[in-house]
Structures are given as C-alpha cells and as structure tokens.
Structure 1
C-alpha cells in the first residue's frame, strides 16, 4: 500500500488546551477526550486508513459539534476544495427541500409538468406518472441510466429514455435523475442550485462561493460537480445532525432533513447492493448505513457520515476504489472510540497519536509502494518527442478505438523503443477531428520510462454517460497475475485537448476488450489474470457508473488450453451471458444463466480461429458483429481480417466482408456510431511496418460480403512508425 504524507492539523484537537474560538466561520475545536473520544481509536483509524485505503486525502471527526481530529495526506490541505462527485447529490436534495418549503413545487408533482416542451409527443404512462419523489429516491422507473451527452439537451435526453418500471417501485442508481432535480429547482426558482443555495446554505455556514460544474444548458449538474473543502463538508454534516439549525437559525426545515435522511425505499436487491452499506435503504439522495447512521457519498471515497445516536460526523475524501473499506474502518475504530461521557485527558495517548502521524508523514516522503506496478504512472500528459516520438518506436500495436458523441475519433495502442513487449512499453492516445483523414497524438501514459513497469494492452470506451475512458494494464514483466487495470477519463471527449482525470487502479489483472453494459445498467469489465491462475476470465462489475468495482464471477479455462483469455461478453436476448475466450485452440465459450455469478468450465466454440484476439459487439439493429481471421469454420493464421453478422445471438453467422487479407494483421476493436457507421481498428506488423489502421463500413456491407453502401473505406492509416530507425 502506498503511504501518503499526512499533514495533521490537530493542534488544540489533540494536544492543545481546549476549544478555541470560532473565527471566520470555522468550527470549534476540542481535544478528543473532552468530547468522549478515545485518542487511541483515532490513531488506529489513521494507521489503518493509511495502510488499507488506496489513497486517502483527508478526514475530519466531529463530536458534539466540535472538531476533535482532522488530517490531510500528501498535497491535500484544509484550504483546498475537493471534488465531491456524488456527494453533491445530498446538497441538491437540500435545495429541493428548500424550494418545496418556499412553495415552488411539491414532492408529488409530475416531472413532465415542468418540461412539457421537452417531453416526447406521446409520453408513456410511466413517464407521465414519474414524480419529484421518484427522482429523489432513485426509483424513477428506468432499467438503466439515461445517456446524457456533452452536446445534447439533457432534459430532453432524460425524458426520451424508456421507463419500463412503474415509478417508485424499483431502485436503480440514477445520476441523471439528480440532474433533473437540479433542472426543476432552476426552472421554478430562476436560479441554479448553486446560486439558490448561496444565501440559504453556503453563506450562513461560512462556505465561500463554491464551484459547481454545469450542464450544457447552464444548470448545476446536481448529481456531481460540486467542490468543497473538508471542513465545508463537515459543516454540512453538523447542520444535518442539528436538524437544520445553525447559530440559532433554522436554515433547512427539520421535517425535510428527517424525511431526506430516513429510509424511503429498499435497495437490497438493486445492482448496487453488493456491499453491506449499500443495501441498508435509501432516502432523498442519502444512503442509509449500518449502526443507524446515514451518509452522502461520492465516487473515489468522498463521505459525509452522520451518526445521530453518537452525535458525531465523520468526513473523508480520497482517490480510491475501496469505499466499503473506508466505512468498515469507521465502524471498527471510530465507532468504539465514541463514549457517552467525557474521558480523562490522556497525554500519553495523544503523544502516541502524534508520533504515529508524524511517522506516517516521514515514511510517505521516502517509502515506495510495496510493488512498483501499484504506483500511478509517472507521465500522463503530452508525448515527449525524445522519449516517445514516432521516429524512436521499434514496436507498436494492440489498438482500440472510440468515437465521441460529436464525432471526434480517438485511438490508442501501446508502443516502445525496443522491438518487443517489455519494460519500455507505454500507451499512446491519438485523435482525429476530420473523420480519420489526419491524426494527432494527444496523450501518453508511461509508468516509469525504462522500467521495470510497463503500460500495455490499452482499451478505449465511450460510456453511456458520454464520458470517454482510456484503460490500460500496468505490470512488471509478462504476467497477468501481477498486474492491474488502470484508467483515466474525460468528460469532454470532443475537445482536441480535453482535461483528464487522475489515473486510478480499478482491479487486478489485464483487460484487453471493451466493457459491456448489461440490461440492468451494470457495467462489466472483462479482466483476466491470465495463464497462471484458475478462474482467470473474470467479470468485474460496477453498479454505480464506474465509481466502485467488484468481482461478480469468473470462468475456469482448463490449464492445457490457457492463453491470454482476452474474453468478450454478449448479453443474449434470453438474459444469459455468453463469454467467448481466446485459447490455444482458438475460441472457447461458456454461458452464465445467473448474471455472471457462476460459469461452466470453458469448452470449444463453433467459431474456428487462431490464438489471437477477435472482436464481437451487438449492433444497434440487434444483430451481432464478429471480426475474426478467415472464414467462420476455418482456422487461418493472423490474416484475412473479416467481418460477419449473426441474427440469432451467435448460433449462425452470415456475410463476410474482407477488411485486410495481409499476413500480420491482428487485434481488431471498434465501435458503431448512432448513424450506423461501423469503424474497426487493428494493427499490422507490430515490429515491421508498425502500422495502426482502420476500416469503415456499414452493416449492409457485411451482410452482402462486399461494398454496397458506398461508404466502405479500408486500410486507413492512423499511425505509421515504419520509418523509425
């Protein structure tokens, strides 16, 4: 586990002389023992969080309205606003409560009544029945989240989504539903949620005007996008604990806080209910927790946990995928440290806590991660010509492709200055704004230059949210058991130079194929631990749009036929999941009938193929597209890259559009865009010609086995490193 420098500003909190005066809107401070908090428990929490949480950024503990412990790791600090991600939702809920109290609308008002011009011409009965209450409780009736794109009209896109369930009956985590709450507040008050809360909430709490990102139409996004300091979050938690009162004034109606933070719907059977604190029930944009607590939370480990029975608030910010671990540490260490009465002052315990935290700070400056491949890459930015220039590449291949909502093309692959798959490998992202006529390399990911860590097997994916993800594997050597799937993302994939998130590690293993979105709305990563482990072809599932990932199940590939798995998933029309896996003999298959929890052992499929990656994806028509080497029933070498169609969920295949017949073509990947155009990317001669190419066509071309649409374009060059020395 990587240790991070902890700048703990405990001052009076741990070894001072008692509470200090409130200045500039700051919360009062106290020693832990004076408020009935055992310093040893706080120390145990800090040590465990530093050791077990991937990247803690801050925490703050309030007891009886006073800060008794506060800390920041690494470059974080008390004045630095932190992105809240979905913790923003709880603030949007507060704005809704205030607007209802102001008489602007009611809980049971119909959603379409606010936006009659944006609704479909003939809205379904379920859409017409959808209420504000249903948006608040994540039970709007959708099976999967509506797709909101950077260039779309978000209200219209939300209302266009099918609503198969009766609103109020099925919990499905739904960030666009929170956006709709924000849009309703703005529609009825004439102010964004941020502006509406400015005088009613932020200013009274002493929170400076915060940043809150906006939709393309200028509304606060609502479901995410708010930035606050750790103490700002703590003030909000204390306001909730005080039932809306602050300095003698009722800022938020107590009745609203009671409703919002109580269980309004069950969520124990929802796709998001994998961890114990995610199946305790849901309120109005607040999660119920174990131990009679409730919380607002957000992606990567942002928490505001309120414990009414203990009169305490715990705030945490982080950059991690282990959100349940954070809560488990609160229950294990903080909760038992909270006593009903003040404790005797304990200078020895305070000194130990101070020494522990000082030791963490010192170790963070020098201690490397336990394994170098667990560290974030050192370079995530524009390519450096000397180290990464095209003229220096002796290897490049294994590409992926994605198309942004506005049409910008993105491609990635991995490369290196030596003619092999070794510690010199790095990942390249390139982009085109002229439909592939020209390309420019825009981002490069390099773990540590000459090694020992390599970045390889990248993948691009445009999520249903419109967010573009760039995945890659990071490992030492050529072993999937000591590797991990990493990613960065951008919310603006149509920009030539978009801003990218910080890199984060999602799971163990390697992912060489695109994620799949199931009919439940869950996202599935096909990650593999390769040849040295049983049950290597794994499903890593997210039920919250990529905020957290958990292992759902895995298929066992017999030892004697194992290769690199490179498995792909298809959800069949009967609800079963069909897994296709690369093996030594070609393509194996397995079918799960319980949403991927269990899988029969892999057996040979009817699709003949060399031991190489293939590509399968469901098209907008409902048919399956398969890109493989050679005819369906013939095992060729890595040549004759050909596209086929299936109208019966893979039982039979027809067509056969030849994309590139040359020996040395391999590793297809692709995407179909809303206009029906299909783009496939592949490599050719990774250490010879060193080319990345695309083929563009339509479904009718595949069905006919020849170019009939007038839009077939083959062997379009994305990158050519053949001139490298």
Structure 2
C-alpha cells in the first residue's frame, strides 16, 4: 500500500462527513477508518444499498424455482393487475422491468422526498405503487424507483412465503454471520425493498466479498454464479456520471489518468456504497452523512483507493 496516498486520503476524509471506510484487499482488511471510535461496528441506514440485496434474493428465489424467471409477469404475484380496467402496459410489466427500473410506472422520486413520504405514510405500500399511472411502456425508459424495488420485495414475500428479511436471514445473513441489523417493513409485513436496512460497514463488506467471490463463501454457494454475472451486466446507460444499471446494481468504469477499472456498486442516498472491483480484488464500503453530495465516494475511489495498491 502506498502510504503517502493513504495518508492524504485519510487527511481528506477526516474533514468530511464520511463516517466509516472499510477496504478489503485480497481477502484482508487493509483500511478500517472510523470518524469516531463509537462508529466502529455501528449500524447505519444503508438506504438504497437495500435494493442490491433485494436483487440477490430475487436471484436465489429464481434458482429455487419459486419465481419462474426475470421475464415472469408481475401480475402473477399481483392478481389485481389482471382486472379489465387495468391498462395493458401495466399488465405487461415483468420482474426484469422492476430489476432494471424500466417498468414505465410514473415515479417522481429524484429530488422529491415529499413523494416518498406519501409512500411511507400510506396504509398499503403495494397498492400505492400499483395505483400510480403508467408514464412509458415497460422496457423503454430508466426511471429510478424505490417503488419498483419494494414491489420486488413483495414478490419475494408472495413467492417464498416469508418476507425478504427472513429470506435473507436464511440464505445470506446467517451463513455470513450477519446478525446486527434492522430491516423496516410496510404495514403488510413486506420488508422495505427500497431503503429499509440498517447494518454496519463490516456486514456490508461481507456482502461485497460474496459478490467478489461469485456468490461463494468457502465451498458453499450462497448466490448462483450465473445470477451474479447476469446482475452485473450493463443493461441500460443511465448517465455518463453514474454509468450503467444492471439488476439493482450500478456498473461504471472508474478512470484516473491512464488507469481504468470496472466497478460494480450498490449505492445509497447520503453516500452509502458497496464497491466491488474484481480487477484488483478489492471491496470498499463507505458509510457517509453527505446528503448534499451522495456521489462523493466515487471520487475517493478514483483519486485514492485505486491508486493506493
């Protein structure tokens, strides 16, 4: 590790609202930064990193043949969509469209947190989402949607007979020894699929390492390798600054001078990140309190972490 680059990075982040930074390189923790001593191992809201865990659970449910596949219509899980007065475009939405945020359902989330408050305060989140009008045909336009992610969570509930929290505990959390977490639910008991988890940076890093290792923990396969590969394939270009979107994971080439590495990451509002960089066998987790610049950790990855080793 280049000590000079490391020292410069720590000097910079200590003056910002980055609360935790955990970096695992070649299977070992090489950076373990906590802005305050009592932040070490503390649970924080990981916001939309929750979405990437929901994607994982969808893949496990498909592998267990509880969901037919990504092209299964969501009306199989929400029979209310089969009613005669439901617009055909809404009936055409599939699991794939929810995973890639191309459902076409109107969802004015970006920069409109009052709208999200309407969801959270509703008596039936699934109904609130499904009652939103269609804005585009499914598959045509990317629109960031915690509502779509919550529908995926409700699908997990209906397909598996247990909510996403319990399904995650059975298939991921218990095998990874993740115990110190909270997962908020809606009034019907569906785990909040868009932004509901609180956990520590160390446990987030365990999930990142699971993706780095193609779904395996030791000899045990917790996530099908084909699902990880499929999830991390770029499905739609969102923007030059954010890159592509896969199945509730982001994909972006991070470049600094002449060096470029492909990063796969879960991203939450405020600066919560799980970065997976296979080319250098690195997982990096940021916990931040920076709602004015949620993307700040991307800068630190490019300027410091990818030059440090």
TM-score in terms of structure 1 length: 0.39
Q: CA deviation at 1:206?
A: 1.3
Q: 2:263 aligns with which of 277, 293, 299?
A: 293
Contact kept? 2:249, 2:265, Cα under 8 Å: yes
- Are the structure 2 counterparts of residues 315 and 122 from structure 1 closer, same or farther at C-alpha, using a change threshold of 3 Å? same
Deviation of 1:77 after TM superposition, in Å, equals 2.4
Does the 8 Å contact 1:198/1:209 carry over to 2?
no
Match of residue 710 from structure 1: none
Residue 41 of structure 2 is aligned with which of 68, 79, 92? 79
Contact 1:120–1:160 (CA<8 Å) still a contact in 2?
Answer: no
Query: Residue 63 in 1 paired to residue 63 in 2?
Result: no
User: Structure 1: how far apart are the matches of 2:122 and 2:135?
Assistant: 26
- Kept after mapping to 1: 8 A contact 2:237/2:245: yes
Distance 1:319 1:81, change over 3 A: same
Question: Which residue in the other structure is 2:13 paired with?
Answer: 49
Q: 1:178 to 1:311 in 2, by over 3 A?
A: same
Aligned to 1:124: 87
Partner of 1:314: 284
- Equivalent runs, 1:521-560 vs 2, <5 Å: none
Find the aligned partners of 1:153 and 1:325 in 2 and give their Cα distance.
35
Distance 1:50 1:149 in 2: 34
Partner residue in 1 for 2:111: none
Structure 1 outlier segments of 4+, above 6 Å: none
Structure 1 residue runs of 5 or longer lacking an equivalent are 1-36, 269-275, 339-725
Alpha-carbon RMSD: 1.6
SS in 1 for 2:236: coil
Q: Per the alignment, do residues 205 and 56 of structure 1 end up closer, same or farther by CA in structure 2, a change over 3 Å counting? A: same
- Contact map agreement 2:19 2:35 (CA 8 A) in 1: yes
Structure with the greater alpha carbon radius of gyration? 1
Q: CA deviation at 1:290?
A: 2.3
**In the alignment, what sits opposite 1:104?**
66
Q: Is 2:154 the partner of 1:190?
A: no
User: Is contact 1:142–1:165 with CA below 8 Å preserved after alignment?
Assistant: yes
Q: Match for residue 4 of structure 2? A: 40
Residue 265 of structure 1, CA deviation: 1.4
CA distance in 1: counterparts of 2:30 and 2:37, whole angstroms = 22
Q: Are the counterparts in 1 of residues 43 and 180 from structure 2 also a CA contact under 8 Å?
A: no
Q: Give the Å deviation of 1:118.
A: 6.2
Residue of structure 1 equivalent to 2:195: 224
Distance in 1, matches of 2:281 and 2:21, equals 17
- Supply the distance in 1 between the matched residues of 2:155 and 2:247 (Cα, whole angstroms): 15
Q: 1:329 Cα deviation (Å)?
A: 1.7
- By relative contact order (CA 8 Å, sep 6+), the higher-ranking structure is 2
* Structure 2 partner of 1:238: 209
Matched, 1:166 2:137: yes
Question: For residue 424 of structure 1, what is the aligned residue in structure 2?
Answer: none
After TM superposition, give the deviation of residue 247 of structure 1 in Å.
Answer: 1.5
Deviation per residue, 1:188-225 (Å, 9 max, x gap): 10111010011210011111152100011111011111
Task: Give 1 or 2: higher strand fraction.
Answer: 1
Aligned pairs, number: 292
Report the 3-state secondary structure (helix = DSSP H, G, I; strand = E; otherwise coil) of the residue aligned with 2:144: coil
Aligned to 1:211: 182
The alignment partner of 1:70 has SS state of strand
Change (3 A) 1:164 1:74: same
Superposed, which structure 2 residues align to 1:150-165 within 5 Å?
Answer: 150-165=121-136
Q: TM-score, normalised to structure 2's length?
A: 0.90
The residue that corresponds to 2:257 in the other structure is: none
Offset from partner CA, 1:25-62 (integer Å, 9 cap, x none): xxxxxxxxxxxx323222222112223x3x11100111
